[in-house]
Amino acid sequence: RSVEELSIWEDARSMLRKARAEGVETAWDRLEQQTPHCTFCELGTTCRNCVMGPCRISPKATKSGKLQRGVCGADADVIVARNFGRFIAGGSAGHSDHGRDLIEVLEAIVEGETTDYAIRDEAKLRRIAAELGIDAAERPLMDVARDLVDECYSDFGSRRKSVGFLARAPEKRRALWEKLGMTPRGVDREIAEMMHRTHMGCDNDAPNTLIHAARCALADGWSGSMIGTELSDIIFGVPTPSMSTANLGILKKDTVNILVHGHNPVVSEMILAAAREPQLIAAAKAHGASGITVGGLCCTGNELLMRQGIPMAGNHLMTELAIVTGAVEAVVVDYQCIMPSLVQIAGCYHTRFITTAGKARFTGAIHFDIHPHNAMEEARKIVQMAVDAFAERDPKRVEIPVEPVRIMTGFSNEAILNALGGSLTPLLDAVKAGSIRGFVAIVGCNNPKIQQDSANVGLAKALIERDIMVLATGCVTTAAGKAGLLVPEAASMAGPGLKAVCTALGIPPVLHMGSCVDNSRIMHLCGLIANELGVDISDLPVGASSPEWYSEKAAAIGMYAVASGVYTHLGLPPNILGSQTVTDLALNGLEGLVGASFAVEPDPLKAADLLDARIRAKREALGL
Ligand code: BF8
Ligand code: SF4
């Protein structure tokens, strides 16, 4: 395929050409090698859960009468549901284990094991503690923090009837979850139970397995991820609106360029802090650089963008291409969504590929084992290593293809409320008046099966034109940013109602709300709006979409959104189409159970129609 077919962006296209010229293989090349994919796997009808197998169910099973069941007797419905259940459990585990890492940092602060991290927002800590039932008013900060640590750890265990932040959901919704057996009791519990249920000979009723998949995802959205978001705010600060820039143009020819990649701010915040230290800047200057640039990739980039305003180099499919510029001294990663290929690509240049988490090691990488007690010390060594690598940069191989685009970031719920003067009322008035017809969260990834960012951007543009405000997180952020949608001036691309509201408030029609764990901010906001209106989340004129998703985590997000009552569009289907029962449930049956379902539609304009129709129906039902 031509580079034009692979991505909508000039920076990506230029780097794809350079990669081809320099013999560097990318995800797109490997996708071609992997195509066609195994049909059984695409349909979700392969099972490797025991060694009587592996087994596969033929899509033509009913006609031939053969290969209808695995050796144990499991049929397509059971196998698809089990696979999908484990898929959701994988995603929930990723977000939630990230959340747990923040509890560990807060614990290290409380126990005095680190001075590298601190409680940066005492007021938020006390507010969250009080929300979780801790006496937070007049006790010493560290006592409150210690109780908060215990409270959060307890959410991961088995001794609760429901997780702590669930109280943020409307009462109606909680009653529904209770009735359906979907109330998440503990993060690790639901994930472990999913592994148990999907062992050979356990849960052999597809709908029952899917109900638990929803419970597992709800544990992620309303606990694991939510803890991740709230504790990150407490430790690193609540995001407030600020300006930054995005695309590969943020890399500078004359600076030491360090890219942080992965998800958890715990490491990237330290790298940024070290890179701002005078002695390391002086070291960079001694090497002939004018300074140090720290740029973001993927979600840890989003975390630093939201709180520190660092520039974004790119999203998922830009991670390989960023190195191809030849201008990156170091890529520093923690975990999740980091292509193993980065080790090889870094090896083609002077780029140091540096891992920092014991649970995410890459053969061939340089490893620094970062913990709360040694984080700053190790971060300084990493930045020094990047500075030293600058001497090895080959200027003849450097190509920085574009100029950066301005973006606005930092829309935490606190910031949104602040912009509205402390109450949701003005926003809801705009919704009631129809100037804002509704909200759609566009979240998730890139997938080389789809022209990069064509659907992410196409959908966002189509929705704002229809006066539907867009909330962006994860890898959609950089997509929206590069398209010029994350600046107040983008109001000119919105419909008349949304344009007027954005112009009055000085905000963009697409609001950046953070990383993928920060989708919990959006769930929280849905809860706040529903409670304010005295309705359930499923009654709201809202929707969600992941047009270019690829990961288990994105599936978990989609699942908790639907289970929370949010109609959710996916640009491509999960591997479930081999089961009619599971597919029907996902696309239709869930509507009757939880008041929302999935919709699959590759065309972003048709997807906009679907979301628009949904919002129209919900507005009508509310009498708007
Ligand atoms: O958690 S959007 S490609 S980076 S999975 Fe990954 Fe998808 Fe990007 Fe963040 Ni989210
Ligand atoms: Fe085959 Fe059943 Fe074993 Fe799966 S659990 S591999 S379907 S025998």
3-state secondary structure 352-406: EEEECCCCCCCCCCEECCCCCCCHHHHHHHHHHHHHHHHHHCCHHHCCCCCCCEE
Beta carbon of 52 within 6 Å of any ligand 2 atom: yes
| Predicted pLDDT of residue 398 | 98
Q: Whose CA is nearest to atom 3 of ligand 2?
A: 50
Q: How far apart are CA 47 and CA 28, in angstroms?
A: 27
State which residues of the chain have pLDDT below 70: 61-62
Number of the ligand closest to the Cα of 74: 2
Q: How far apart are CA 386 and CA 254, in angstroms?
A: 14
Looking from the CA of residue 473, the nearest atom of ligand 1 is: 2
Beta carbon of 71 within 6 Å of any ligand 2 atom: yes
Q: What is the DSSP letter of 9?
A: -
Tell which one of 55, 57, 203 to mutate to probe ligand 2, the residue whose CB is within 8 A of the most ligand atoms: 55
How do residues 239-293 score in pLDDT, each as one tens digit? 999 999 999 999 999 999 999 999 999 999 999 999 999 999 999 999 999 999 9
Beta carbon of 299 within 6 Å of any ligand 1 atom: yes
Beta carbon of 553 within 6 Å of any ligand 1 atom: yes
Complete edge-to-edge strand list for the sheet that includes strand 366-367: 366-367, 352-355, 330-333, 255-261, 291-297, 312-314, 242-246, 405-409
Q: Whose CA is nearest to atom 1 of ligand 1?
A: 516
Residue 450, both tokens: 């789809």
| Predicted pLDDT of residue 146 | 98
ipTM score of complex = 0.97
Q: How many angstroms separate the alpha carbon of residue 299 from the centre of ligand 1? A: 6
Beta carbon of 49 within 6 Å of any ligand 2 atom: yes
Burial of 137 (0-12, 13-18, 19+ CB in 10 A): exposed
- Sequence-distant (≥ 6) Cβ neighbours of residue 202 within 8 angstroms: 196
Residue 422, both tokens: 């402390």
Q: How far apart are CA 436 and CA 577, in angstroms?
A: 36
Q: How far apart are CA 483 and CA 481, in angstroms?
A: 5
- Sequence-distant (≥ 6) Cβ neighbours of residue 287 within 8 angstroms: 256, 387, 388, 390, 391
Q: How many angstroms separate the alpha carbon of residue 478 from the centre of ligand 1? A: 11
Q: Answer yes or no: are the C-beta atoms of 470 and 511 closer than 8 Å.
A: yes
Beta carbon of 76 within 6 Å of any ligand 2 atom: no
Q: In this structure, how many other beta carbons lie within 10 angstroms of the beta carbon of residue 243?
A: 13
Q: How far apart are CA 446 and CA 600, in angstroms?
A: 16
Burial of 200 (0-12, 13-18, 19+ CB in 10 A): middle
Closest CA to 7 of 23, 31, 33: 31
Q: Answer yes or no: are the C-beta atoms of 507 and 569 closer than 8 Å.
A: no
How do residues 22-74 score in pLDDT, each as one tens digit? 999 999 999 999 999 999 999 999 999 999 999 999 977 667 778 899 999 99
Looking from the CA of residue 55, the nearest atom of ligand 2 is: 1
Q: Answer yes or no: are the C-beta atoms of 547 and 558 closer than 8 Å.
A: no
Q: Which position has the token pair 């602040």?
A: 418
Name the 3-class secondary structure at 101.
helix
Q: Whose CA is nearest to atom 6 of ligand 1?
A: 337
Q: Whose CA is nearest to atom 7 of ligand 2?
A: 70
Burial of 182 (0-12, 13-18, 19+ CB in 10 A): buried
| Predicted pLDDT of residue 62 | 67
Pairing status of strand 55-56 against strand 46-47: antiparallel
Beta carbon of 554 within 6 Å of any ligand 1 atom: yes
Phi-psi category of 36—alpha, beta or left, where left has phi over 0 and alpha has psi -120 to 50? beta
Q: Which position has the token pair 């709201």?
A: 540
Biggest CA-to-CA distance, the chain: 74
Q: How far apart are CA 125 and CA 227, in angstroms?
A: 12
- Which domains does the chain carry? 76-236 (1.20.1270.30), 248-397 (3.40.50.2030), 411-621 (3.40.50.2030)
Residue 37, both tokens: 């994919």
Q: In this structure, how many other beta carbons lie within 10 angstroms of the beta carbon of residue 297?
A: 28
Residue 83, both tokens: 């696979």
SS3 of 208-230: HHHHHHHHHHHHHHHHHHHHHHH
Beta carbon of 204 within 6 Å of any ligand 2 atom: no
- Sequence-distant (≥ 6) Cβ neighbours of residue 235 within 8 angstroms: 102, 105, 106, 109, 117, 118, 119, 120
Closest CA to 14 of 534, 401, 466: 401
Q: What angle do CA 370, 375, 381 make, to 5 degrees?
A: 90
| Predicted pLDDT of residue 67 | 85
Tell which one of 342, 475, 476, 512 to mutate to probe ligand 1, the residue whose CB is within 8 A of the most ligand atoms: 475
Tell which one of 92, 264, 268, 316 to mutate to probe ligand 1, the residue whose CB is within 8 A of the most ligand atoms: 316
- Sequence-distant (≥ 6) Cβ neighbours of residue 238 within 8 angstroms: 121, 124, 412, 414, 415
| Predicted pLDDT of residue 415 | 97
